[in-house]
Amino acid sequence: MLILRQLLSFALIHLLLLSHTFAEPLTRAEIDKLVENAMSEFEVPGIAVGIISGDELVHLKGYGLRELGKKAKVNKDTVFKVASNSKAFTTAALAILVDKGKLSWQTKVNDVIPEFRLSDAWVSSEINVLDLLTHRSGMNAGAGDLMLWPEPNKFTRANIIYGLRHFDLVKQFRSEYAYDNLLYIVAGELIPRITGLEWREFVDQNIMQPLQLENCFAGAMSDRARRNLAAPHGLVNDKLVVIERSRINDVVSNMAAAGAVRCSAADMTSWMKILLKEGEISPDKRLYSKQQAEQMWHSHIQRRVGSFEREWGNTHFNSYGLGWRISDVYGYKQLSHTGSLAGFRSYMTLVPELDLGVVVLTNGSSSMARKAVMYSLVRAYMTDEKIDWTAELIKSQQAYSSTALPEPVLVFKAPEEVLTNEIVGLYVDPWFGEVEIAREQGKLVLRSAMSPILTGELEYLDDSVFVVKWFDRTLEADAYVRFERDFEGRISSVKMQAVSSETDSSFDFHDLDFKPVVGE
């Protein structure tokens, strides 16, 4: 009798846990209101949201417009750029190759890509596949991202792989986290070297097709998908506009393995189901082994825990796996990643203990919109505490925007007229290539040879410092340009730095060091 009562007690506890796991903390009407409020407050034209709990599809819906000024609405099949949420597809592709014995996570990169080099010879010889995926190379965060975007540009993957040798290792190898994209490009290059298939072909054939993701593409899109694309939007002079250069297309992108997947909320939801099942497609079929799933969700490098995370999520640790940020939030292990490209933002979160997955895709440049929706949805499953995340993030954004920006470092006093005559000419950086400063219609114009979108007017600021204001105002990345001199008083070097601390870190102007090209 005692044993029976114990069994009944365990059964009751199990049922209670199940009911807690699958209880829906927000009604559909509440989710609708939440998303529409975030769109309004953060000026985002359209959002798509998918939620799964267990095997149940809890919510899948599009909101708003695919493109401002047009009638077509976002729906569950609208295709967005998912940006850095592409990284999880890359690590899954490599996991498939590991399962097949084509490589291991410890395979040295030089064994597959002999021309690969970093600035340190020993690190170059030791760096392995795992290192490529975990942001622990020792390079600065975002190093070399100017070879990836803004798109389109003239850089090739060969340029990127060669350029890596010019970046100083500012941290000890494998000791600190510093987010990078270029090494994911290298990781993607492993696939054609091993299989003969380009990254986009391999991912489509080995992930998208077996999972029947009909509106999710690493390579060319279907005709049906092309008729349902989200357009990218951003603010220019406080007005929301379409960012034409960032529209979704089939042009082969250098960023490929780091950020080139285009996908719908419906298919991202199906993708999350496979991820939560640790690669299991059906009882007798797997995308990748459970062993590889454990590697992807293992903490390979620690990340700093910020005060916001401690206060608002009771977070004790942050780390990075293989294409996943890992942390504890309200006592639950959470795996997540964001994606950011001009005019698009994405956010995906998995909570394995709750069998919960949430994806948010937007066609606007506000990172706060995706965060407000994601935090509201995921944390409602974790705690009964009611927080208006949209309101809290508005406060956070206002507080951050009010902080003073750093002043440029001024090093040499020269009259403006003298300086503007001196600086006309060609300059070259070892990884970014040439820029030209020329007089055009009475203006000083800086023009990049390899990244033509980076063309703008130089305006004199003070001493030896100018500000370059890019003609494409959707870049939101104006930069200081500082001219340094040698002991003879000649210009010897040109350094750059983003004007605003809010400039996306992928505009790594601070890694540039231009030298004047001296004529023969």
For residues 79 and 363, give the distance between their C-alpha atoms in angstroms, rounded to a whole number: 10
Both 40 and 131 in one domain: the answer is: yes
Residues 199/191, Cβ–Cβ less than 8 Å: yes
pLDDT in tens, 351-386: 999 999 999 999 999 999 999 999 999 999 999 888
Both 237 and 303 in one domain: the answer is: yes
Of 378, 401, 424, the domain-final residue: 401
CB burial class (10 A; 0-12, 13-18, 19+) of residue 424?
exposed
Of 350, 372, 401, the domain-final residue: 401
Residue 347 belongs to what H/E stretch? strand 344-351
For residues 223 and 72, give the distance between their C-alpha atoms in angstroms, rounded to a whole number: 17
Both 433 and 327 in one domain: the answer is: no
Average pLDDT, the chain: 92
Both 358 and 252 in one domain: the answer is: yes
Per the domain annotation, does 14 fall within a domain?
A: no
81, β-bridge pairs: 262
Residues 207/315, Cβ–Cβ less than 8 Å: no
Gap between the terminal Cα atoms of the chain: 99
Which tokens sit at 350? Answer: 């998995």
Pairing between strand 318-320 and 301-303? antiparallel
Counting the structural domains of the chain, the total is 2
Mean pLDDT for the stretch of residues 31-49: 97
Q: How far is CA 24 from CA 38, 57, 309, in A?
A: 20, 11, 24
pLDDT at residue 15, rounded to an integer: 40
Both 422 and 302 in one domain: the answer is: no
Mean pLDDT for the stretch of residues 312-316: 93
Per the domain annotation, does 1 fall within a domain?
A: no
pLDDT in tens, 173-225: 999 999 999 999 999 999 999 999 999 999 999 999 999 999 999 999 999 99
pLDDT at residue 402, rounded to an integer: 54
3-class SS at 26?
coil
HSE of 52 in the Cβ direction (CA atoms, 13 Å)?
24
Q: How far is CA 256 from CA 39, 77, 367, in A?
A: 29, 22, 22
Mean pLDDT for the stretch of residues 221-244: 96
Mean pLDDT for the stretch of residues 135-159: 96
| pLDDT class of 411 with cuts at 50, 70, 90 | very low
Q: Is the pLDDT of residue 404 over 60?
A: no
Per the domain annotation, does 8 fall within a domain?
A: no
pLDDT in tens, 440-463: 998 999 999 999 999 999 999 887
For residues 470 and 459, give the distance between their C-alpha atoms in angstroms, rounded to a whole number: 11
pLDDT at residue 417, rounded to an integer: 66
Question: What one-character DSSP code corresponds to residue 314?
Answer: -
DSSP string, 366-408: -HHHHHHHHHHHHHHHH-S----HHHHHHHHHHHHHTSPPPPP
**Span of 196-210, 285-299, 487-501 with lowest mean pLDDT:** 487-501
Q: Is the pLDDT of residue 73 over 60?
A: yes
Of 366, 401, 436, the domain-final residue: 401
pLDDT at residue 133, rounded to an integer: 98
**Span of 2-6, 153-157, 220-224, 309-313 with lowest mean pLDDT:** 2-6
Mean pLDDT for the stretch of residues 283-297: 97
pLDDT at residue 421, rounded to an integer: 82
H-only helix segments in 23-81:
28-42
HSE of 518 in the Cβ direction (CA atoms, 13 Å)?
5
Q: Which residues, in sequence order, are CB contacts of 39 under 8 Å at separation 6+?
A: 45, 46, 47, 63, 64, 364, 369
Q: Is the pLDDT of residue 20 over 50?
A: no
Both 370 and 433 in one domain: the answer is: no
Mean pLDDT for the stretch of residues 508-517: 96
Both 303 and 376 in one domain: the answer is: yes
pLDDT at residue 23, rounded to an integer: 53
* Structural domain boundaries, residue 453: 416-516
Q: Nearest-CA neighbor of 473 among 254, 132, 236, 249?
A: 236
Residues 419/437, Cβ–Cβ less than 8 Å: no
Which tokens sit at 436? Answer: 């030209």
Q: Which residues, in sequence order, are CB contacts of 11 under 8 Å at separation 6+?
A: none
Tell me how many degrees the CA angle 48-182-222 measures, rounded to the nearest 5.
40
Per the domain annotation, does 406 fall within a domain?
A: no
Residues 350/356, Cβ–Cβ less than 8 Å: yes
pLDDT at residue 409, rounded to an integer: 47
Both 155 and 284 in one domain: the answer is: yes
Per the domain annotation, does 129 fall within a domain?
A: yes
3-class SS at 254?
coil
Per the domain annotation, does 111 fall within a domain?
A: yes
Both 394 and 502 in one domain: the answer is: no
What's this model's pTM, rounded to 2 decimal places? Answer: 0.92
| pLDDT class of 97 with cuts at 50, 70, 90 | very high
H-only helix segments in 63-175:
87-99, 109-112, 121-126, 129-132, 157-163
Q: Where do the DSSP E strands lie in 261-312?
A: 262-264, 280-282, 285-286, 301-303
pLDDT at residue 518, rounded to an integer: 82
Q: Is the pLDDT of residue 71 over 70?
A: yes
Both 429 and 367 in one domain: the answer is: no
pLDDT at residue 416, rounded to an integer: 56
Residues 76/62, Cβ–Cβ less than 8 Å: yes
Per the domain annotation, does 3 fall within a domain?
A: no
Mean pLDDT for the stretch of residues 5-9: 42
Mean pLDDT for the stretch of residues 152-165: 97
Tell me what percent of the residues of the chain surpass a pLDDT of 70.
91
Pairing between strand 285-286 and 301-303? unpaired
Per the domain annotation, does 138 fall within a domain?
A: yes
pLDDT at residue 183, rounded to an integer: 98
H-only helix segments in 319-366:
none
Both 490 and 362 in one domain: the answer is: no
- CB count within 10 Å of CB 96 equals 23
Both 318 and 173 in one domain: the answer is: yes
- Domain of 260, CATH number, reads 3.40.710.10
- Domain of 456, CATH number, reads 2.40.128.50
3-class SS at 330?
coil
